[in-house]
Amino acid sequence: MSMFTFVTAYALKSDKERSSKKKPDAQGRSDPQTSDEERWIVCRQCMQRLTRPSERTSINGSHQHTFANPSGIVFEIGCFAMVRGCSFIGPPSYEFPWFAGHSWQIAICSTCQTHLGWLFKGQAGTQFCGLILDHLKEIDAPT
Ligand SMILES: [Zn+2]
- Alpha carbon of 43 to ligand 1 centroid (Å): 5
Length of the chain: 143
Q: What is the DSSP letter of 99?
A: S
- Alpha carbon of 42 to ligand 1 centroid (Å): 8
pTM: 0.72
- Alpha carbon of 48 to ligand 1 centroid (Å): 6
- Alpha carbon of 29 to ligand 1 centroid (Å): 27
Instruction: Give which of 86, 68, 89, 85 is closest to 77, Cα–Cα.
Output: 68
16, 45, 94, 104 from 123: Cα distances, Å: 30, 33, 11, 12
- Alpha carbon of 30 to ligand 1 centroid (Å): 24
- Alpha carbon of 2 to ligand 1 centroid (Å): 31
- Alpha carbon of 60 to ligand 1 centroid (Å): 28
Residue 105: alpha-carbon gap to chain centroid: 13
Q: Please write the tens of the pLDDT for every residue from 82-99.
A: 999 999 999 999 887 789
Looking at per-residue confidence, does 9 or 141 come out higher? 141
Instruction: Give which of 129, 41, 12 is closest to 78, Cα–Cα.
Output: 129
Q: Please write the tens of the pLDDT for every residue from 19-64.
A: 444 444 444 445 555 556 679 999 999 999 999 999 999 999 999 9
Q: Could you give the domains of the chain?
A: 57-78+85-112+120-143 (2.170.150.20)
